[in-house]
Amino acid sequence: MSSVTLTDLHKAFDGNPVLHGFELEVAQGEFVSLLGASGCGKTTVLRLVAGLEEPDRGRITVGDRVVCDASKGTWIPPEARRIGMVFQSYAVWPHMTVLENVAYPLKVAGVARAEREAHTLTILERVGLAGLEGRRPAQLSGGQQQRVALARGLIMEPDVLLLDEPLSNLDAKLRIRMRADIRRIQKESGFTVIYVTHDQDEALAISDRLVIMEEGVILAVGSPDEVRDHAFLSPEAEHEERA
Amino acid sequence: MRRRFEPRFWIALAAVFVLGILPLVLVLSRGVSSGAFWETVTSEEAVDAVLGTLQLSAGTTLLALLIGAPLAWLTTRTDLPWRGFFRSMLTIPYIIPPYIAAVAWINLANPEVGALNSLLGKGALDIYSMTGLTWVMALSFYPYVFLTVRAALLSADPSLEDAARMSGARTWRVLRDVSLPLMRPALIASGGLVFMVTASAFGAPALIGNAARLDFLSTSIFDALTSGLGGMAQASSLACVLLALAVIPMFLRARHHAVLTGKASRPTRVRLGRARLPIHLLTLAFVAVAVILPAVAVALTAFMRVAGDFSLSNFTLENFAVLERSDSGSAIWTSLWLAAAAATAAVVLGGLVAFLQVKTRRRGRHLLATLTAVPLAAPGTVLALGLILVWTTPLKLVNTVWILLIAYLAKYVALASRAIGEGLGTVDDALPEAARMSGAHGLTLLRTIWIPLVLPALVAGWFLVFMPCFSELTMSVLLVGPGVDTVGTRLFEMREYEAPTAASVLATVVLALVVVTNLLLRLLSRGRYGV
């Protein structure tokens, strides 16, 4: 289990600054949501932690390991960070079965076939996909693909799991069920979660702590009870977001 | 509302059928019904030609895939420096006719006086070989692979690859397990296309193959036809075999994976790390050798008294006197006005086909579009044979410029209809409907609404037909003999019988015109067409 510390992160795309001096500390086993409108920089923070983007400046620490320090040239590539990630588009590989998709991280790590299949089947059961291991992604519903992506993120038992708008492509009813499932699994295993969303109801329901962002700046940080009355979460703001 | 009888549909169908389909049907029936069909196609020469074509096409396809696919990946998915520059440079061979590349490489790697051989020692490189020809063909056709794979990678959701990295896979592993399977449909489609165009190619195989004593189906068809008596039957039989070979790749179908994607995010650039500089230099070297060197070779040779001699005193403007000689000078004019006329006719016919396909719901509109595209895919030698069969009696058009106009229109009208169809697809149906409610119909509607709305596509279609027509060689050398000269036929004769420096002058003219027209097209279409 690991904490995540982001120190003085700077990132610009094509000269447009997205983050300037972003700081955040996520405790071990904590469930933190980054909440904000699209373009506020929340996904960039997530991709920096993952190692899919490189900061122009700043340092990222996972547990007691510095995974990135721009001033010292320290850089651990994403494949070596042992961080799980669930993508907004699911990123389920269309040319592999459900089993092959979920077992892939174990395969890369060199786990023997029998062992990784057994392990995969238990994970599939945990996310509610028992019996579907032979299917192709094209034969799955959106919610099922989402579960495949979640299972793949969990199978390495990562210390940190990153979720990028994981529920935004699902219908309302499924969304509520999935977020309960994610929270349950996290509480069972105790890993650290950074969760990106633009849906404030979702963030309030699922998180230990919320980080409200706008244009790369943190407007407020706190438990759901602490930030519930923040101006950003006014009904008007929500209305705008929906529109 | 819908009329039962639509003359414009039947006019378009009849034109497309007579221009491009009837000739192919006649070649097939003539070839197969010929009494000597089996005798011809099982003769030693025919078997040699088939094997030569297969070897050349397979080798070219393999080499084009090996060149095009890695370059596509490097310029879309990595932190390779100068990606935009490489994309532009690497696309250039797409617009240059392969026979021009052949002239260039003969100047460079001719075993006697090739420029590279003067540097490396006589006979170090020999362009007159299967390897040499494969090299030239692959350098001409790898852009099909490069562009198709690039498009596939750009439209694929990059988080599929990100997810593999987050699963612990390193760069090579990601490539093997995710990127490559995702590229597979593009690799198979573009590889099949390279195979087809290589099997169909005539100019470069003839220029290089003759001296190397290599036989191919396309060159054998030409030889049979020009050999005189009984040649037509023999040529038609060989044409049937070539048509069959060129069609094979169309049955190769990759299993397409259903595209599962949400929002495509900004692609994560693979860090090449320590390999970045070597790969950068290697790519630069490839651009220099494959794109810049041949162009320079053609242009420089045009100014040389004796090809391959780089001493300053050897440079001269004398060769350009070739352009003043009536045959070459008039060849350029003939090619110019023929290409312009064919392009104009193609915009009219292609525009009609596109309109019927995109803006009506008439039955048979897709069949019409498919028939229009068939001649473009058919080998030029085969189409030319068919046109000779159609236009010899009662109309004696063979050996006149008119048969060339018909041939160019038949072959390239699909390029115009495709571009115009894309343009029409973006026009909201409410715009012409509003004009009709305002009282416009018929030609008024065409002139005041349709043409202004799709003008950019009409212009693009015109240029897309003009360019290949101006430099057309394959059909031209089969359809007209001495007396009618185009750039292509002059160049072909010169290369065979005259000094290479004179051929280089014409090649330089073609090169300059193609580059200038392409730039013009790019400017006019605001970067949508052209390279």
Sequence-distant (6+) residues with CB within 8 A of B431 are: B449, B453
ipTM: 0.81
Which residues in chain B touch residue A152, judged by CB atoms under 8 angstroms apart? Answer: 163, 167
Residue A143, CA distances (Å) to A220, B81, B491 in order: 32, 40, 64
Q: In what order do the strands lie in the sheet with A192-197?
A: A83-86, A160-164, A192-197, A31-35, A209-214, A217-222
Chain A nearest C-alpha distance from B162 (Å): 7
Residue B239, CA distances (Å) to B181, B198, B383, B472 in order: 36, 15, 9, 19
Element (H, E) at B347: helix B326-359
- From CA B448, how far away is CA B436, in angstroms rounded? 11
**Which candidate in B175, B260, B268, B272 is best for mutational testing of the A interface (most A CBs within 10 A)?**
B260
- From CA A170, how far away is CA A177, in angstroms rounded? 11
CB B488 within 8 A of CB B419: no
Six-digit token pair at A144?
Answer: 């099922």
Element (H, E) at B196: helix B180-200
- From CA B83, how far away is CA B487, in angstroms rounded? 35
Backbone phi, psi, residue B169, to 5°: -80, 135
Sequence-distant (6+) residues with CB within 8 A of B314 are: B304, B305, B306
User: Are A93 and B168 a contacting pair at CB < 8 A?
Assistant: no
Six-digit token pair at B436?
Answer: 């009709």
Which pLDDT score is estimated for B328? Answer: 73
- From CA B329, how far away is CA B322, in angstroms rounded? 8
Which pLDDT score is estimated for B262? Answer: 43
Q: Tell me the residue ranges of DSSP E strands in chain A.
A: 4-13, 16-26, 31-35, 57-62, 65-69, 74-75, 83-86, 160-164, 192-197, 209-214, 217-222
User: Are B168 and A156 a contacting pair at CB < 8 A?
Assistant: yes
Residue A40 has pLDDT above 80, yes or no: yes
- For helices B98-109 and B293-301, the axis angle rounded to 10 degrees is 80
- The residue type found at A124 is L
Collapse the DSSP code of B345 into the 3-class scheme (helix H, G, I; strand E, B; otherwise coil) and give the result.
Answer: helix
User: Are A85 and B162 a contacting pair at CB < 8 A?
Assistant: yes
- From CA B64, how far away is CA B90, in angstroms rounded? 12
Q: In what order do the strands lie in the sheet with A57-62?
A: A16-26, A4-13, A57-62, A65-69, A74-75
The pLDDT tens digits of the residues spanning A172-224 come to 888 898 899 899 999 988 999 999 999 989 999 999 999 999 988 999 999 99
CA neighbor of B174 nearest in space, from A198, A117, A228, A91:
A91
Six-digit token pair at A125?
Answer: 């059961």
Q: For strand A217-222 and strand A209-214, is the pairing parallel, antiparallel, or unpaired? A: antiparallel
Six-digit token pair at B130?
Answer: 């299967």
| CB environment B389-405: b (16+ within 10 A), e (fewer) | bbbeeeeebbbbbbbbb
- From CA A207, how far away is CA A193, in angstroms rounded? 9
Six-digit token pair at A109?
Answer: 């790590």
- From CA B215, how far away is CA B431, in angstroms rounded? 56
Sequence-distant (6+) residues with CB within 8 A of A204 are: A210, A224, A228, A233
Chain A nearest C-alpha distance from B480 (Å): 52
User: Are A53 and B162 a contacting pair at CB < 8 A?
Assistant: no
The pLDDT tens digits of the residues spanning A82-117 come to 899 999 888 899 889 999 999 999 999 999 999 999
Which residues in chain B touch residue A149, judged by CB atoms under 8 angstroms apart? Answer: 163
CB A160 within 8 A of CB A83: yes
pLDDT in tens, chain B (531 residues): 445 567 899 999 999 999 999 999 999 998 888 778 888 888 888 999 999 999 999 999 999 999 999 999 999 999 999 999 999 999 999 989 999 999 899 888 888 777 888 778 777 788 999 999 999 999 999 999 999 999 989 888 889 999 999 999 998 999 999 999 989 989 999 999 999 999 999 999 999 998 888 999 999 999 998 887 678 888 999 999 999 988 777 766 555 554 444 444 566 788 888 999 999 999 999 999 999 999 998 888 888 877 767 777 778 887 777 777 767 778 899 999 999 999 999 999 999 999 999 988 888 899 999 999 999 999 999 999 999 999 988 788 888 999 999 999 999 999 999 999 999 998 888 888 888 777 787 888 888 889 988 998 999 999 999 999 999 999 999 999 888 899 999 888 886 655 677 888 888 988 999 889 988 988 888 877 877
Backbone phi, psi, residue B477, to 5°: -70, -25
Nearest to B163 among A51, A83, A91 (CB): A91
- From CA B371, how far away is CA B16, in angstroms rounded? 7
Class of residue A3 by CB neighbours under 10 A (exposed 0-12, middle 13-18, buried 19+): middle
Nearest to A87 among B159, B173, B177 (CB): B159
How far is residue B358 CA from its own chain's centroid? 25
- From CA B299, how far away is CA B523, in angstroms rounded? 25
Which pLDDT score is estimated for B263? Answer: 44
- The residue type found at A72 is K
User: Are B262 and A50 a contacting pair at CB < 8 A?
Assistant: no
Q: Chain A residues within 8 A (CB-CB) of chain B?
A: 13, 43, 47, 50-53, 77-80, 82-85, 87-95, 104-105, 108-109, 137-138, 145, 149, 152-153, 156, 169
The distance in angstroms from the start CA to the end CA of chain B is: 44
How many C-beta atoms surround the C-beta of residue B88 within 10 A? 12
User: Are B271 and A50 a contacting pair at CB < 8 A?
Assistant: no
Nearest to A78 among B166, B181, B261 (CB): B166
Nearest to B260 among A53, A82, A90 (CB): A90
CB B530 within 8 A of CB B466: no
Which pLDDT score is estimated for B401? Answer: 93
Sequence-distant (6+) residues with CB within 8 A of B345 are: B405, B409, B413
pTM of the complete model: 0.85
- From CA B391, how far away is CA B18, in angstroms rounded? 10
Our CA dihedral for B78, B80, B81, B86, rounded to 10 degrees, sits at -100
With bands split at pLDDT 50, 70 and 90, how would you rate the model's confidence at A242? Answer: very low
